Amino acid sequence: MTLQNFRSGSSAIPSSNSNTTSSTSSSTLPSELHKRAEHPRFYFPDGTVVFRVENTLYRIHRYFFQRDSPVFAAMFSLPQPQIGGPHEGAPEHPENPIILEGVRAIDFDRFLGVLYPLDFGSHDSRSADEWASVLSLATRWDFSSLRTLAITQLNALVSAPAERIALAREYHIPGWRAPAYVALCTQAGPLSIAEGRLLGLDDMVRVAHVRETVRYPTNLKHHHDAIAALVRDVFGLSANDV
């Protein structure tokens, strides 16, 4: 069984009517199995489902995935084939795991680090990059509580306006874009190359437009509400973006 990558275009959120699963009938050859390594931390003896991410096997507890993710709950509710070998993902048959397509092992490690913390008083993830991994998979698989946690952590870690815009745009984070656009449009000096790469050409043009409107000929520099209204109009932001 393969859990597909649910991205559609630039959206990181699967639509409610997406086809969330597909089955593969190909069997795993013994020669292929030895190339896969059991994860040193996330291959639990009492785990109830086996996933494969890249060339790593994870034996974890399906309860958490079934409880917290509608995507996995739907997948686990599908009837298993009666003929043709062992059930996919069954821990007694690690040669037939559920394959998580489009997922990097490093991202899955970070995601599981939140589900299985070494210390309940802290999180494995520390950096913005690590929490972005958690947010990416939580959004893709609709783990709403983990998504909220990741956004909270990133809100404290990411301050650069262009970075906040990129994250908000990719993962549909409400309330981030408008203030970040206002900050970019009113900051002194030109945009950096790094900011331009994060924003993309369209947003760079819009930022330039707002800057020119603010500076010439009207003097809106000290009128935050007017600038915010202009930003919402130029960037076409919805109420959720404010």
| Domains identified in the chain, total number | 2
pLDDT of residue 124 exceeding 50? yes
Are 52 and 99 spatial neighbours (Cβ–Cβ below 8 Å)?
Answer: yes
**CA–CA separation, 231 and 227 (whole Å):** 6
6/80 same-domain check: yes
What pLDDT digit, counting tens, does each position of 160-176 carry?
Answer: 999 999 999 999 999 99
Among 148, 178, 210, which residue terminates a domain? 148
Residue 134 lies in a domain: yes
116/176 same-domain check: no
Residue 18 lies in a domain: no
38/138 same-domain check: yes
The enclosing domain of 74 has a CATH number of 3.30.710.10
Residue 20 lies in a domain: no
230/204 same-domain check: yes
Among 119, 148, 177, which residue terminates a domain? 148
Q: Are β-strands 56-60 and 37-43 bridged in parallel, bridged antiparallel, or unpaired?
A: parallel
72/128 same-domain check: yes
Are 111 and 103 spatial neighbours (Cβ–Cβ below 8 Å)?
Answer: no
Which strand ranges, in their side-by-side order, compose the sheet holding 98-100?
A: 21-22, 2-3, 98-100, 49-53, 56-60, 37-43
What's the pLDDT score for residue 4? 53
Q: Is 0.95 surpassed by the pTM of this model?
A: no
What pLDDT digit, counting tens, does each position of 42-61 carry?
Answer: 999 999 999 999 999 999 99
Comparing CA positions, the residue from 134, 138, 224 lying closest to residue 183 is 224
**CA–CA separation, 96 and 88 (whole Å):** 5
Any idea which of 9-18, 64-73, 129-138 has the lowest mean pLDDT?
9-18
Identify any residues that bridge with 60 across adjacent strands, giving them in sequence order.
49
What's the pLDDT score for residue 30? 52
Among 148, 169, 196, which residue terminates a domain? 148
Residue 23 lies in a domain: no
What pLDDT digit, counting tens, does each position of 214-230 carry?
Answer: 876 566 656 778 888 88
pLDDT-derived band of residue 20, with 50, 70 and 90 as boundaries?
Answer: very low
Alpha helix (H) ranges present in the chain?
Answer: 30-33, 62-68, 70-77, 105-115, 128-140, 144-157, 161-171, 177-186, 193-199, 201-215, 224-235
Identity at 5, one-letter amino acid code: N
98/135 same-domain check: yes
SS3 category, 201: helix
Residue 154 lies in a domain: no
pLDDT of residue 203 exceeding 50? yes
Identify any residues that bridge with 109 across adjacent strands, giving them in sequence order.
none
Owning domain of residue 143: 2-12+29-148
DSSP-derived secondary structure letter, 142: T
Comparing CA positions, the residue from 33, 82, 89 lying closest to residue 66 is 89
67/41 same-domain check: yes
**CA–CA separation, 201 and 81 (whole Å):** 49
What's the pLDDT score for residue 36? 78
Residue 232 lies in a domain: yes
